Amino acid sequence: MEIRVPQLPESVADATLVAWRKQPGEPVGRDENLADLETDKVVLEVPAPAAGVVKEIKIQSGATVKSGDLLAIFEIGVAATAASAAKAAPSVVVASAPAAKASGDKLGPAARRVVEETGVDPAAVSGTGRDGRVTKRDVVAHAAKQAAVPAAVAVAPKPQPIAVSAASPGPRAEQRVPMTRLRQRIAERLVQAQQTAALLTTFNEIDLMAVNELRARHKDRFEKQYGVKLGFMSFFVKASIEALRKFPVMNAAVDGDDIIYHEYYDVGVAVSTDRGLVVPVLRNAETMGFAEIERQIVDYGNRARLGGLALEDLQGGTFTITNGGVFGSLLSTPIVNAPQSAILGMHKIQDRPVVVSGQVVVRPMMYLAVSYDHRIIDGREAVQFLVAIKDSLEDPGRMLLGL
């Protein structure tokens, strides 16, 4: 049987064959992952069509492939070859056996690697695959529900440092490592944004005392009722939507000589992973409550770190929020996520002395930045947009009253 590159999503022209997970002669179970294909957005798996062995690999790791390309020749149900391969490589069988035993026969082989990475008990995972088998997506979803933050699934080997003896200096060490497809895509989009848009950034600062007090009053009851923590991001998403309603051009996009005004709010939330920055989208965020926003963001974050995001999770978006504050950034100028026209940058919350009603007091302050496309957004609109967010966050009751 021929194993070919599956049909890639319409917006993806090609992919990189990152790694073969099975080698010729190695026993393979049905639905077990044979190879990882990395596109510029997500990592796709190539599942085995049945139990058997890989007879011959036609394309080596690192090659660029397209839909329908021949990857390997597969032989179905070759017991003798599989048994021989099992003796030659007992580590494969031993590594997989505990996971399969823990979940009976319903743990899909393609999910075993994620189970081992996350430490999830496979017996506790409900399978949605064929005949109730547990798939990789099932394991990722279960880990997200537990709000776990497991190690990312490796999609390419990380370079190892080259040791240089201190006694004899010798030549200085260097490493040359090719960019991943995701990193190439990030670089391409950022350069494109700077070359095609007239980018400008304006700043403001907000006093988060009112938000802090509101969270402190209700966080325990909120978590008990909804099963998710009340974080800051839901406040910023809500405040952004209220400001976007007042200034629709901040939610628009340039298409040739036209301006497209979106009458919905698909808010992208930037998430950092070992592979690079990805921006999953909160669809119709204007219809979501605080709990749904927080739950969706936690789910996206966990799945992003596991490599479990689907292509549709990353497509579209009318406005983006990025939070450099989680890494300690005090101030930055974010780059617009084209073809969008604006992006909000959050930063570190820091106690600072400020003057309130003629008195110097210490307040939890954050610098906010909004970068925007000056071709369609004037400075007045960008500044007033940021002030609208500031007003909503310094008096959260405005968001409830629509003021």
How far is the C-alpha of 383 from the C-alpha of 349, rounded, in Å? 21
**Residue carrying structure tokens 């690697």:** 113
Buried b (16+ CB within 10 A) or exposed e, 342-380: bbbbbbbbeeeeeeeeeeeeebebbbbbbbbbeebbeee
**What is the per-residue pLDDT for 148?**
43
Q: Residue-wise pLDDT tens for the chain (403 aa)?
A: 888 888 877 667 788 888 888 888 888 888 888 888 888 767 788 888 888 889 889 888 888 888 888 998 988 876 434 444 444 443 333 333 333 334 445 565 556 667 766 777 777 777 776 667 777 777 777 776 664 443 334 444 455 555 555 555 667 888 888 777 777 777 887 887 888 788 999 999 999 999 999 999 999 999 999 999 999 999 999 999 999 999 999 999 998 889 999 999 999 999 888 777 888 999 999 999 999 999 999 999 888 888 788 878 888 899 999 999 888 899 999 999 888 999 999 999 999 999 999 999 999 999 999 999 999 999 999 999 999 999 999 999 877 776 6
**What is the per-residue pLDDT for 159?**
52
Report the helix count and the strand count for the chain, using DSSP H and E.
Answer: 11, 19
Buried b (16+ CB within 10 A) or exposed e, 309-332: beeebbeebbbbbbbbbeeebeeb
| Check whether domain 199-401 has CATH 3.30.559.10, yes or no | yes
- The phi-psi region of residue 144 (left if phi > 0; otherwise alpha if psi is between -120 and 50; otherwise beta) is alpha
Is residue 237 within 8 A of residue 328, CB to CB? The reply is: no
**What is the per-residue pLDDT for 184?**
79
**What is the per-residue pLDDT for 382?**
96
Strand 52-57 and strand 70-76: the pairing is: antiparallel
Q: Give the angle subtended at the CA of 243 by the CAs of 380 and 220, to the nearest 5°.
A: 140
Q: Which of these is catalytic: 105, 220, 378, 395?
A: 378
* Cβ neighbours, 10 Å, residue 60: 8
pLDDT tens-digit series, residues 239-285: 999 999 999 999 999 988 899 999 999 999 998 887 778 889 999 99
Task: Catalogue the E-assigned strands of 59-137.
Answer: 64-65, 70-76
pLDDT tens-digit series, residues 299-340: 998 888 887 888 788 888 999 999 998 888 999 999 998 889
The pTM of this model reads 0.65
Question: In terms of Cα–Cα distance, which of 30, 33, 77 is closest to 52?
Answer: 77
**What is the per-residue pLDDT for 163?**
52
Q: Is 218 noted as a catalytic residue in this protein?
A: no
For the chain, give percent helix, strand, coil, nearest 5.
40, 25, 35
Q: Which of these is catalytic: 14, 262, 274, 374?
A: 374
Tokens of 239: 């405040």
Is residue 347 within 8 A of residue 322, CB to CB? The reply is: no
How far is the C-alpha of 63 from the C-alpha of 73, rounded, in Å? 17
Phi and psi angles of residue 244, each rounded to the nearest 5 degrees, phi first: -65, -35
pLDDT tens-digit series, residues 378-397: 999 999 999 999 999 999 98
**What is the per-residue pLDDT for 177?**
80
How far is the C-alpha of 143 from the C-alpha of 136, rounded, in Å? 11
Tell me the β-bridge partners of 44.
37
Tokens of 247: 């200034």
Sequence-ordered alpha helix ranges (H) in 197-332: 209-226, 233-246, 290-306, 311-314
Q: Is 347 noted as a catalytic residue in this protein?
A: no
CATH architecture of 1-88: Beta Barrel (2.40)
- Residue 126's Cβ-count burial label (10 Å; 0-12, 13-18, 19+) is exposed
The CATH class of the 103-150 domain is few secondary structures
Which H helix or E strand runs over 319? Answer: strand 319-323
User: What residues does each domain of the chain span?
Assistant: 1-88, 103-150, 199-401
